Structures are given as C-alpha cells and as structure tokens.
Amino acid sequence: MNFYVHSGSEEPTGTAGRFIWRDLKTIKGAINRAQRQFGDSPFSLYAFTDFCDGRTFKLVLSGARFPCK
C-alpha cells in the first residue's frame, strides 16, 4: 500500500510536513510511523494507489492526535 501523510487537519502549503510512504504494508504500520513522526501533533493519513489520480486516495485519519507515552 502507498500512504500520504501531512501535519494537521488541513493540507499544508509547500513541502514541509508532508510525506509519501511506499514501503509499508498495512494501515496500522502507517499509523504507527505517523505517531513516531509527528508525536502528539495532529496529522492526516491517506491510502492511495496512484498518486496522480486523486480518485484513488482514501482518507484513513483526519486531524488525528495521539498522546505521547
């Protein structure tokens, strides 16, 4: 699976705070990596198959925030 994640609930302008992960196999793995990447800051996570086709994007989490342990 391919994942696109960005900080906050609104997509940021520029390239800061955006990541594309193509090496993960599960949604749970993407959530875990996003938790490590963003800490207790909010983030939004999408799964996609074709980055150039917006119709293939599926919202997984929007504005998610997890407490640090």
Report residue 58 CA to chain centroid gap.
11
pLDDT at 68 over 60: no
Phi/psi-derived region of residue 26, left when phi > 0, alpha when psi is between -120 and 50, beta in every other case? beta
Strand partners, 44: 6
pTM of the model: 0.83
pLDDT digits (tens, 9 = 90+) for 17-52: 889 999 999 999 999 999 898 888 889 999 999 989
pLDDT at 69 over 80: no
